[in-house]
Amino acid sequence: MKVGFIGTGSMGSLLIYALIQSGALEPRQIAASNRTPSKVSQLSLRYPGLHESQSNRETVIRSNIIFLCVKPLEFRHVIDDILPVVNSNHIIVSITSPVQLRHLESSLPCKVSKVIPSVTHQVGSGASLFIHGERMTAEDRSLLEGLMSHIGKPYQVDEACTRITSDFSSCGPAFISFFLEQWIESAVRLTGIKRADACALAGEMLLGTGKLLTEGGYTPQELQARVAVPGGITAQALALLRNNLDGVFDSLIHTTHEKYDEDLVKLDEVFRASEINRQQY
């Protein structure tokens, strides 16, 4: 299996790192290209054998599966660029949520899927979300899921639920880190605890909480009940959080969905405009 990466910014390079580190791929199985070529040169120095493609087309030509790791509004440009060298056997994967299967299927002659990864894959953890296109056979699906299972837990989701599922799996690490950052800064300011100690304790706590939710059979509600003995300190603090955060998560979900919808409107325009142009010429 040969795997290509178009775009080696934050997420493209993280996926390359994680897939090599986990043993899922050897560097010689990978080809990569990026708008700024020096980013790929750095990767090929770090992983001898990784092929530094001179163009996105070269990445496609050398690969069976190609991950498009660029931002949503860069998709149209990348697709137009690689189109002449894409054939029906290629599997092209979008790692970004607002790009729809219909955008990919209407503009590419190959098999397509969306796989929304998470920064947690850097440590072989977290969920990756799968939304397969109709041209993906059962064999293609298990090939892609098998590859990603080395660095996270594959989850099939409906495209209509892409935003809310990636809110948890992909944006979640940032949201929870924000929560912890605020908490740690208050702790440092009010109690004098060393920031490094607070960070280490917060990380261990989050890891353990994650395990209780995934392996320990707890729901978030049950976990609160287990820790918050009636009349105790945790119960009092939970009441404070409940009052102060009332409505925050509704607003959070509205915010992520509004931004997603904005991107989707722009993508629909870009993909439609380009189809109209193609018909004219």
Ligand X SMILES: NC(=O)C1=CN([C@@H]2O[C@H](COP(=O)(O)OP(=O)(O)OC[C@H]3O[C@@H](n4cnc5c(N)ncnc54)[C@H](O)[C@@H]3O)[C@@H](O)[C@H]2O)C=CC1
- 116 lines the binding site for ligand X (CB under 6 A): yes
- 97 lines the binding site for ligand A1CAB (CB under 6 A): yes
User: Which window, 32-40, 137-145, 153-161, 216-224, contacts ligand X (CB under 6 A)?
Assistant: 32-40
- How many Å apart are CA 174 and CA 130, to the nearest integer? 21
Toward ligand A1CAB, which CB reaches closer, 33 or 166?
Answer: 166
- How many Å apart are CA 68 and CA 23, to the nearest integer? 21
- 152 lines the binding site for ligand X (CB under 6 A): no
Q: Which of 72, 126, 133, 154 binds ligand X (CB under 6 A)?
A: 72
Q: Where are the alpha helices (DSSP H) in 152-247?
A: 162-166, 172-191, 195-214, 220-227, 233-244
CA nearest 252: which of 185, 187, 177, 164?
164
Is residue 7 marked as binding? yes
Which parts of 165-224 interact with ligand X (CB under 6 A)? Answer: 170
Q: Dihedrals φ, ψ of 215, to 5°?
A: -115, -25
Q: Which of 170, 184, 198, 267 binds ligand A1CAB (CB under 6 A)?
A: 170
- How many Å apart are CA 236 and CA 144, to the nearest integer? 47
- Least distance from C-beta 185 to ligand X, angstroms? 23
- Least distance from C-beta 98 to ligand A1CAB, angstroms? 6
Pairing of strands 111-116, 127-132: antiparallel
- How many Å apart are CA 46 and CA 57, to the nearest integer? 23
- 119 lines the binding site for ligand X (CB under 6 A): yes
- 96 lines the binding site for ligand A1CAB (CB under 6 A): yes
List residues binding ligand A1CAB (CB under 6 A).
Answer: 96-97, 166, 170-171
Annotated binding-site residue numbers for NADP(+):
6-11
